[in-house]
Amino acid sequence: MAQNGKPTVIITGASSGVGLYTAKAMANKGWHVVMACRDLAKAETAAQSVGIPKDSYTVIHIDLGSLDSVRQFVNNFRASGKSLDALLCNAAIYMPLIKEPLRSPEGYELTMTTNHLGHFLLCNLLLEDLKKSTYGDRRLVILGTVTHNPDELGGKIPPRPDLGNLEGFADGFKEPISMIDGKKFEPVKAYKDSKVCNVLTMRELHRRYHDVTGIAFTSLYPGCVAETPLFRNHYPLFQKIFPLFQKYITGGYVSQELSGERVASVIADPEYKQSGAYWSWGNRQKKDRKSFVQKVSPQARDDEKAEKLWDLSAKLVGIA
Ligand SMILES: NC(=O)c1ccc[n+]([C@@H]2O[C@H](COP(=O)([O-])OP(=O)(O)OC[C@H]3O[C@@H](n4cnc5c(N)ncnc54)[C@H](OP(=O)(O)O)[C@@H]3O)[C@@H](O)[C@H]2O)c1
């Protein structure tokens, strides 16, 4: 327990969309929120725009697309003297239209670095802080998505995620390699692959650390939050049609506000305590839809792959 007797949660990417509304919902639940964001001024304006009280949040800089920045964030967080009671790995980029891969300062492909490797390093470093917390119900939550799972309609649309045998990671993941399976660069697949890695990471954290630490590790798909800026790099026409399609055809649409409330429940409510679970909501639009623990995709429930991903990711981020 830290700030004014309130428990503290770190939320990555709290400057917009799901992360921002989760920050709001967590503040409403009486938590102190550390908004881990790459644009401090934007985060501050965003917090005020949704009415988060000034004494309920702190903004600390992180660029998940840079491993040095992740390390610096952890140092800055520790220097703040707060204890850590929950961590939400939420930030992500989706750049469906780029033709060539962008690179992190380390030379790794940027979507996989931001969405998976940066969070993988953050989780490993902050595990120590979560272990030290005296809060009774510590949780580490990583955002998943339906597109990780070809067993669901939203996951059937090509290109489907495929981590292969992680050849790209095994070969160092630097130029000319840009995909985890070592194959040709495909930006949409890079996003979906990274989200499979998020679920595998959650499951491997659970396997390695739940029994020994008591920390609950979970993931979730809150529904299709079709109006967040995640789709800002898509064609303008797509951005117009996608929410309507999700509202009236698939029924998968949820508002940003509702997605934030769902994520906050998974972080803090007693009924979402089950470690290793991936939470989902039945035909997702309605607020009163019941949540359930959903089976993850065949790749995401492959224990051997989870272990191999862990080992290779640890090497790439320099903690092996
Ligand atoms: N939207 C959906 O339908 C949906 C569905 C299921 C799951 N999700 C998941 O929900 C999460 C949030 O997505 P969203 O829809 O809320 O998208 P969003 O509105 O674009 O929010 C993404 C957040 O991540 C931050 N971010 C991006 N790159 C970063 C970096 N290098 N370092 C630090 N922060 C960075 C962004 O910061 P800036 O404000 O500076 O850009 C923003 O705050 C993602 O994990 C996504 O996979 C989304």
Mutate which of 22, 57, 90 for ligand 1 pocket (most atoms within 8 A of beta carbon): 90
Report residue 199's pLDDT band, with 50, 70 and 90 as the boundaries: very high
Residue 3, pLDDT score: 47
For residue range 78-99, list pLDDT tens digits in order: 999 999 999 999 999 999 999 9
Angstrom distance (rounded) from CA 219 to CA 263: 9
Residue 285, pLDDT score: 54
Taking CA atoms only, the protein residue closest to ligand 1 atom 20 is 230
Tokens of 269: 């409510």
For residue range 28-48, list pLDDT tens digits in order: 999 999 999 999 999 999 999
Residue 149, pLDDT score: 82
Inter-residue long-range contacts of 152-157, CB under 8 Å, 24+ positions, other chains counted: 153/250, 154/224, 154/250, 154/252, 155/192, 155/297
Pocket lining: 93 vs ligand 1, CB cutoff 6 Å: yes
Rounded average pLDDT over 134-149: 93
Tokens of 118: 């940066």
Report residue 290's pLDDT band, with 50, 70 and 90 as the boundaries: confident
Pure H helices in the chain: 17-28, 40-49, 67-79, 110-112, 118-132, 167-170, 187-205, 211-213, 236-245, 256-268, 303-317
Pocket lining: 18 vs ligand 1, CB cutoff 6 Å: yes
CA of 14 to the centre of ligand 1 (A): 8
Gyration radius of the chain's alpha carbons = 18
Q: Identify the three-state secondary structure at position 232.
A: coil
Pocket lining: 35 vs ligand 1, CB cutoff 6 Å: no
Rounded average pLDDT over 144-170: 89
The strand pairing partners of 32, in sequence order, are: 8
DSSP string computed for 284-296: TTSTTPPEEEPPP
Taking CA atoms only, the protein residue closest to ligand 1 atom 44 is 92
Angstrom distance (rounded) from CA 9 to CA 27: 10
Q: Which of 71-85, 121-135, 195-209, 269-283 has the lowest mean pLDDT?
A: 269-283
Residue 251, pLDDT score: 77
First to last CA, the chain: 31
Pocket lining: 194 vs ligand 1, CB cutoff 6 Å: no
Tokens of 227: 């109006």
Which is more confidently placed, 157 or 180?
A: 180
* Contact assessment for residue 258 and residue 271, using Cβ atoms and an 8 Å cutoff: no
**pLDDT above 90: percentage of residues in the chain:** 81
Q: Which residues of 133-159 are buried (b: 16+ CB within 10 A; e: fewer)?
A: beeebbbbbbbbbbbbbbeeebbeeee
Pocket lining: 16 vs ligand 1, CB cutoff 6 Å: yes
Mutate which of 10, 11, 18 for ligand 1 pocket (most atoms within 8 A of beta carbon): 18
How are beta strands 57-61 and 86-89 bridged, if at all? unpaired
Report residue 181's pLDDT band, with 50, 70 and 90 as the boundaries: very high
Ligand 1 closest atom vs CA 19:
16
Provide the 10 A C-beta neighbour count for residue 248: 9
- Residue 11's closest CA among 201, 171, 139, 194? 139
Q: Which of 110-114, 226-230, 270-274 has the lowest mean pLDDT?
A: 226-230
Pocket lining: 221 vs ligand 1, CB cutoff 6 Å: yes
Residue 255, pLDDT score: 92
CA of 11 to the centre of ligand 1 (A): 11
Mutate which of 10, 12, 16, 294 for ligand 1 pocket (most atoms within 8 A of beta carbon): 16
Average pLDDT in the chain: 93
Pocket lining: 227 vs ligand 1, CB cutoff 6 Å: no
Pocket lining: 224 vs ligand 1, CB cutoff 6 Å: yes
Q: State the DSSP code for 4.
A: G
Rounded average pLDDT over 57-67: 98
* Sheet of strand 216-220: strand arrangement: 57-61, 32-37, 8-12, 86-89, 139-143, 216-220, 278-281, 291-293
Rounded to 5°, the CA angle 294-19-41 comes to 165
Taking CA atoms only, the protein residue closest to ligand 1 atom 19 is 17
Q: Identify the three-state secondary structure at position 8.
A: strand
Report residue 4's pLDDT band, with 50, 70 and 90 as the boundaries: low
